[in-house]
């Protein structure tokens, strides 16, 4: 099997590329910052069937060279940040939506047999539903969420119009090793883990009661592999939540990190951020039924593994 992983030098994409290579697939990692993100690709062995290409996932000329003979595309290239999309909606749209449409067209023309799009729980916005299921009306609260929703709909339209087997996976706050911690747009667990290891008090926007269905990276990798393996009729043109079905609030996250590190850090509270949603918990029944998905790594294990990874990464960078 030949697979193209866009954003393959990023956090999620690099784990997917590694898992596909471990299965014996030929993998092309396409990433516009592949060289800057080399530390995420240290697992690549020469002769292991992985090719790294630095370039834009929306560049049709490059895609025309890379896609022939490709069986599946896992599209994970994006500017994955709500605040960044609020600050610069146009650039965010170019990277998140325009590039996706170009990639869909090139993949359709190349006869790709499975296209997995990395969508996001942010699509649900501030829905009052206690758990978010795929049939809820979307309420995007940020340009990022709107772009993800539009890209999902393009995938569904490509299935309807051209029979193209696009599938969208709505991820709920993924965390784990390799997630960047040093950007203003980093995920909260990455930032807090790095902060705790440096003994710095965590900063919480809002009252800390906001909750998320934090999902460890191995569960997301499993969701993707199951999507690739599933019969086309069961998944093409569909959208699935990939999460754990349990939510944790930020005060709990701080308490758990204090317990794991033996510290007693108290958070510093700042005003809530525009575009952020208050609560997020997934209904994962559809993925269970269609894909046989079940989150194998729970919150406690995932948080411990993640903290261990940042500890080791911090030591090896000294
Ligand atoms: N991390 C999460 O919690 C989460 C939740 C929901 C959805 N997602 C989605 O999953 C995907 C991966 O997220 P991540 O957390 O690994 O982010 P990441 O920033 O670690 O990885 C994204 C990668 O995409 C690359 N990229 C950006 N624009 C590109 C382009 N036009 N062409 C080629 N490469 C490009 C970046 O260089 C980066 O390496 C994104 O689409 C994101 O929106 C992530």
Say which CATH number the domain at 28 has: 3.40.50.720
Pocket flag, ligand 1, residue 103 (CB < 6 Å): no
pLDDT on residue 318:
55
| Residue ranges making up the domain that contains 238 | 2-172+215-245+282-296
In a domain, 168, yes or no: yes
> Is the C-beta atom of 20 inside 6 A of ligand 1?
no
Q: Domain for residue 72, yes or no?
A: yes
Ligand 1 atom at minimal distance to the Cα of residue 80: 43
Q: Can you point out the beta strands (E) in 178-287?
A: 203-205, 211-212, 215-216, 239-242, 248-249, 268-270
DSSP string, 295-306: --S-HHHHHHHH
Say if strands 268-270 and 203-205 run parallel, antiparallel, or are unpaired: parallel
Residue 231 lies in a domain: yes
Q: Is residue 233 part of a domain?
A: yes
**Separation between Cα atoms, residue 237 and residue 36, nearest integer Å:** 34
User: Tokens in use for 296?
Assistant: 């194998």
Which three-class secondary structure state does DSSP give residue 27?
A: strand
Give the per-residue pLDDT at 183.
Answer: 78
Neighbours of 71 (CB within 10 A): 15
User: Would the CB of 171 count as within 6 Å of ligand 1?
Assistant: yes
**pLDDT for res 126:** 83
Residue 307 lies in a domain: no
**Total-model pTM:** 0.97
Tokens in use for 206?
A: 């809002």
Pocket test for ligand 1, best of 15, 80, 219, 224 (most atoms within 8 A of CB): 80
Domain contains 73: yes
Q: Does the Cβ of 81 fall within 6 Å of ligand 1? A: no
What's the pLDDT at 317? 66
In this prediction, the residues of the chain whose per-residue pLDDT falls under 50 are none
**Total domains, the chain:** 1
Type and span of the H or E element at 26? strand 26-31
Of 144, 149, 171, 293, the catalytic one is: 144
């Amino acid at each position: 099997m030949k697979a193209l992983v866009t954003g393959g030098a990023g956090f999620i994409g690099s784990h997917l590329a590694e898992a596909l290579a471990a299965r014996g697939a030929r993998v092309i990692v396409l990433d516009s910052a592949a060289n800057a993100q080399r530390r995420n690709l240290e697992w690549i062995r020469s002769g292991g069937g992985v090719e790294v290409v630095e370039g834009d996932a929306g560049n049709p000329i490059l895609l025309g060279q890379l896609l022939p003979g490709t069986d599946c595309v896992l599209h994970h290239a994006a500017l994955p940040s709500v605040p960044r999309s609020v600050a610069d909606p146009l650039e965010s749209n170019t990277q998140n939506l325009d590039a996706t449409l170009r990639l869909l067209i090139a993949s359709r023309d190349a006869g790709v047999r499975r296209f997995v799009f990395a969508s996001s729980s942010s699509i649900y916005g501030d829905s009052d539903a206690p758990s978010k299921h795929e049939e809820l009306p979307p309420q995007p609260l940020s340009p990022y969420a709107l772009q993800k929703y539009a890209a999902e709909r393009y995938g569904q339209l490509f299935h309807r119009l051209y029979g193209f087997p696009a599938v969208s996976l709505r991820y709920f706050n993924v965390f784990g090793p390799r997630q960047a911690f040093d950007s203003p747009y980093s995920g909260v667990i990455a930032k807090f883990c790095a902060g705790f290891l440096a003994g710095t008090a965590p900063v919480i926007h809002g009252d800390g009661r906001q909750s998320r269905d934090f999902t460890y990276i191995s569960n997301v990798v499993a969701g993707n592999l199951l999507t690739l393996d599933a019969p086309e009729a069961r998944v093409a043109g569909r959208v699935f939540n990939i999460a754990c079905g349990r939510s944790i609030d930020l005060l709990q996250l701080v308490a758990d990190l204090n317990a794991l590190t033996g510290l007693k850090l108290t958070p510093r509270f700042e005003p809530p951020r525009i575009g952020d949603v208050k609560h997020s918990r997934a209904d994962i029944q559809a993925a269970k039924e269609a894909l046989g998905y079940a989150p194998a790594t729970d919150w406690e294990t995932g948080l411990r593994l993640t903290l261990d990874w940042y500890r080791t990464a911090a030591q090896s960078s000294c």
